[in-house]
Structure 1
Amino acid sequence: MDRQERITALHRTLQAARRPVTVAHLQDVLGCSRATVYRDIAYLRDALMAPVIGEGETGFHYDKDEADRFELPGLWLNSEELHALLAAQHLLARCSGGLLSTALAPLQQRVEKLLDVHAGHKHWPLERVRVIPHRIRRMDEHAFRIVASSVLERRRLTFDYRARSTDEKTRRTVSPQRLTHYRDNWYLDAWDEDREALRSFSIDRITSARMADGSAHDVADDALNAHLAGSYGIFSGAPKGWATIRFSPKAARWVADEHWHSQQQGRFLADGSYELKLPYSVPRELLMDVLHYGADAEIIEPKALREQLRAHLQLALSNYAEEA
């Protein structure tokens, strides 16, 4: 962990301790050397004016009379912690008026109190930090509740499903496995009993959902992860191949810092461009993400995927053909 994370962990450890904490224990908590512990203690006490008491031999602790009044200055949350707190606050605020609003009120107060503590008991203008939903689809809340209940209660489920790609409507009977929240939308990962295979269903395309008799068949976590997380994006299935994508030096400044897949391989080339390799099964979502970069991205391999992208570009260009 970096210095800021160590100081935060050190503060929380001393704040919670009922007796002096030894240097050896602090080394384990902070994952650092003995010398670094002493440097961090000195910084916390001398620079941040923390009420640290103790010596190396006996251990360190906070002065009980001063501990409750001391708090680290400024924003000591990392980006993930801040996002989690703000997202929770936004979601709780959106629940107002619903069935859970009364039950969730204490939780919202706890979140607001936690934010207040990390602000040093100063008012934070949280309206200046935004969590923006992206391409949320309209969804039948009744269907969502039935689907979610079947997952949590481990019950079989039947529903009508209209595939977005073909617009074909089919009746499905499944053993629900997981709910997945991906790119601001909800999906059901399930064992399709008729097809005897794992499938992912976009919940906004589910209608006439109801629980069926019998318990859901559980698929082992390893099998779920291998099938549902092995390929690119939301499309499940074993990878059918690896894509090699080359990004211009301009786009490389963004792509090199992006997480596309857990097994991705990336490297900078001599001309400043960036080469990204990743596994994929259904190419649709990967093609859309590559198209997002326009002329700054080029699929190098495989040839079939490259030709698919070429066909997409030609169709798109035909929409802008000059009329005679």
Structure 2
Amino acid sequence: MAIAKAERLMNLALCLLGTRRPLTKRELRASIEAYVEAFGTGDGGTGSDDSFNRMFERDKDDLRELGLVIETVEGLDGETGYLARRDSNRLPPITLDAAEAAALGLAAKIWQQARLAGAASGALQKLRAAGMPFEDDGSFEAQQPHSALEPRIPAHEAAFEPLMLACRDRRPVVFDYRKSNAARPEQRQVEPWILECWRGHWYLAGWDRGRQAERVFRLSRITGKVRSRQGKFTAEVPDHVTVRETVESWAGETATGTARIRLRADHGYPLRARALSIRELGGGWDELEIPYGHGLDAWLVEFGPDVVVLEPAELRADVVDRLRAVAKG
């Protein structure tokens, strides 16, 4: 649902829930800013009135589909009135067991962005008001072991929030993207499907319109702003998107052999974590044996001068080619 429409529906729902008497369409049109901006207060002519009536009827139907009980009252000086009584729209009692409440408390701590953190905090405040036994720090008081956990999912890239909203609203986007072996970024037109975090980095999966194929993008390689585009998706969104499997193949996770590399001492900890063996060479270098699979060259390039490939020869050649491509830029 687009943000503008969601805000309009929320304002309409608040008006209907907050009134003590039925409100006519004319009163609602003059009270809700989105209606005023689009159609004026009622003196815009027949065309404007017809457009407002169609939008209002759609909005009213959408709220009813979302579960809001809206009553219609006839005979208000010849007009029809609308209201949503609070007693007809109360939520049933919320009951969570200890594990569910603990999971919510932990989830509220995950996001570091202020926008998301505020929403999570507000949700917990509402649950506390409803009687859920959360502690002040957001944990469930019966689950003391969880109080020591401080989970974090970092999302420092500027592209994260606009892409998150685009995935939610099913809106195509355009952004400049620099591949690991490219000297300059290229513009990509993408229908975004899903965001996933893997080993501290965020990735976007979606349909690349220019290449007419599914692609996965690392957010840290997006340069400039993410711009939204009008229109619907042209490709069907799959039921299951294999973001992690794709990224693992890039990083050599689906290994078919082994490789030997020299790694500068006290550097490349992700490589050390996957190493099959590590041998000190002296002079500030170590020798590592690591799993070798498709895409390992792209991962090794990211470590720059801290890594030297010893074997196999084809991996060394691929890494050198990638570094030369970047150096040419």
* TM-score normalised to structure 2 length: 0.43
* TM-score normalised to structure 1 length: 0.44
**Greater Cα radius of gyration, structure 1 or 2:** 2
